[in-house]
A and B are shown apart, each in its own frame.
Chain A
Amino acid sequence: MLDVRIGPIELMNPVISASGCYGQALESEAFVDAHVPGALLLKTITLHPRAGNPPPRIVEVAGGILNSIGLPNKGIERWLTETFPKVRGHASRLFLNIAGERTDEWPRIAARIGATPGIDALELNISCPNVEQGGLPFARDPETVARLVRVVKNETPIPLIVKLAPESPDIGGIALAAQENGAIAVSLINTIRAMAIDWRSRKPKLGYGFGGLSGPAVKPVALRLVYEVARRVSIPVIGIGGIATADDVLEFLVAGATAVQVGTAVFRDPRAIQSIVDTLPTLLAEANVGHIRELTGTLRMPGSR
């Protein structure tokens, strides 16, 4: 009753770990079997190694956190040779998030991955708020996103998911551009660019100055954007933003999502994904919903036909 389909990929449940919140999966296995999430989505890998941003990298705010982690990773080459062999085959489905620091890096990462068996989908991080000259500009312009999806698709047969920023002026247009150029799904939202300030020192609380807001505080924004994007595209929408409970998951589905990602909640409770997956069947049974797919896009909007 929980299985869903993202393009050609069947997931046994719609709960995916969000990039950056499950590390490279090995760390989280102490709490939750890696086969429990419908798919494991691993933290962003870039072409070259990145050290990440200066600390402090996380600060608490009401209802969530700001982060400016800065995509620390060992680069695609070492990831493929050192990390991937340890996680390959460990999960129900394995998705990898990738990001180019410059336009020409996207096809190079994609080419290096090529047709590597064991990676079920690539999520293109065109929306990280914490990388200088990084993804954010890509996410703001449908033309650029269209070109990006095309060049990546030229280099790898692995299905592509495009992760969208909440601040894009025309997020629906960007989602359409992704769809028209062959993405199997869009995922949204990435964190919301934000600040925290210590007025006494006149300094930002984060070492990078800015950060991305996540956690329960962003859920209403994410629900609205998922609703809007799902009305524009025919490919599946993967909802992200403040999901911590099974009820949250079902809200995103009703708004139009086919699947969801759980991120920040696992910092507070590393077993969150297990609890959510365990609770979904009960909630569906209580509401007389036979299959979770029946909920997608069923929002009864006031005034709509």
Chain B
Amino acid sequence: MPAFHAPVLSNRELPPDATVLTVAIPEHLTLEPFQFAMLSMPADANFPFLPRPFSVYDARPGQWDFLIKRVGRGTGSLADARPGESIYVAGPVGNGITKLPRDRRPIGVAGGVGIAPFLALYREWMAGRVDFGAQKPLLLFGGRTRDMLYDLERFTALPIEVRCSTDDGSFGAKGRVTALLEHALTEGPADVLCCGPDPMMEAVAAVCARANTPCRLSLETFMACGYGVCNACAVKVKDERFPQGFRYDRCCVDGPVFDAATLVHAH
């Protein structure tokens, strides 16, 4: 995994609270969808001290996009980066998705900025580098409001089926994305890949478990290094070899994608 300073090429605001940052990367870098990179602003010497993990939103030769939601000072300083500045990038890291079962419909379930890794997934599928089989992929995209269905137009323009939900009913079905999922799982055998807030992912895992449907979750934890040495990004994974019944895996290099059935969920 290389680490480098990446010149910012553009910053496209997604009001009210997100932005798509396009940076220049070494031409030879390749990406597997759902891999991520650690990003920071080199100028911030002491705070935020650590880089932050972001899924690569879109990958083109020599360019990566990142979908960045302003949450605190770390994300804020990155979202403020402008052409002419450079950001620090270490990546790609993590277990990407290179194929999904061919005999099940691939269902993506995204919550808010959890949509980020799906763009690269569908684009790699369109380019023939990720194998899904013949079924048209279905994306279920949920957000609290229409504003939080980030960059929705880019997904509805893809040759996939998109169904949306918002908590307030401002777009798509009113309610939670899990309701869309429960319905979609009645339509035939499916394989679920999910990225979003932790409570949403737990709910999605529970729906899939009840429907006996394979489900993988793309997790995010706080990370210090992002390359496997610090052991900060501990994820509880079921393991009967340990007296407590679980072990800790590292989200960064053992994940970020985990089989939902192997995880010890918080609730």
Query: Chain A: residues with CB nearer than 8 A to chain B?
Result: 20-23, 27-28, 30-31, 43, 49, 51-52, 54-65, 67, 69, 72, 215-216, 266-271
Chain A residues whose C-beta falls within 8 Å of the C-beta of B40 in the assembled complex: 268
What is the number of residues of chain B that contact chain A, defined by CB distance less than 8 Å?
A: 34
Cβ proximity bits B219-233 to A, threshold 8 Å, 1 near / 0 not: 001111101111111
Given contacts A27-B253, A72-B248, A267-B50, are A58 and B227 in contact (CB under 8 A)? no
Chain A positions within 8 Å of B231 at CB level: 20, 23, 52, 57, 69, 72
Of A43, A49, A268, the contact of B50 (CB 8 Å cutoff): A268
Query: Are the C-beta atoms of B49 and A21 separated by less than 8 Å?
Result: no
CB neighbours of A27 from chain B (8 A): 227-229, 253
Measured between beta carbons, the chain B residues less than 8 angstroms from A67 are: 224, 230, 232
Digitize B1-33: 1 where CB-to-A-CB distance is under 8 Å, 0 elsewhere: 111000000000000000000000000000000
21 contacts between A and B (CB under 8 A): A23-B229, A27-B227, A27-B253, A28-B227, A52-B231, A55-B222, A58-B224, A64-B46, A65-B49, A67-B230, A69-B230, A69-B231, A69-B232, A72-B231, A72-B234, A72-B248, A266-B225, A267-B225, A267-B230, A270-B90, A270-B227
B45: chain A residues within 8 A (beta carbon): 216
Q: Are A51 and B244 in contact (CB under 8 A)?
A: yes
Question: Which B residue sits closest to A271, measured CB to CB?
Answer: B3
**Chain A, interface SS category:** loop
Chain B residue numbers with a CB within 8 Å of A49 are 242
Residue of B whose beta carbon sits closest to that of A28: B229
Chain A residues with CB under 8 A of B248: 51-52, 55, 72
Residue of A22, A60, A215 most packed against chain B (CB within 10 A) = A60
Q: Which of B53-72 contact A (CB under 8 A)?
A: none
Contacts of A62 in B (CB 8 A): 46-47
Contact A31 B230 (CB under 8 A): no
- At the interface, yes or no: B247 with Cβ under 8 Å from chain A? yes
B3 partner residues in chain A, CB cutoff 8 A: 31, 269-271
Decide yes or no whether B51 CB sits under 8 A from chain A.
yes
Contact check, B227 vs A60: say whether CB atoms are below 8 A apart: no
B199 at interface, CB cutoff 8 A: no
A30 and B50 contact, Cβ closer than 8 Å, known pairs A57-B232, A59-B222, A67-B232: no
B228 touches A23 (CB 8 A): yes
Minimum CB–CB distance for A198 against chain B, Å: 13
Tell me how far the C-beta of B8 lies from the nearest C-beta in chain A, rounded to whole angstroms.
19
Given contacts A31-B227, A56-B222, A67-B230, 19 further A-B contacts (CB under 8 A): A22-B229, A23-B229, A23-B230, A27-B227, A31-B1, A54-B234, A55-B221, A55-B234, A56-B232, A60-B74, A65-B49, A69-B231, A72-B234, A216-B45, A267-B225, A268-B49, A268-B50, A268-B51, A270-B3
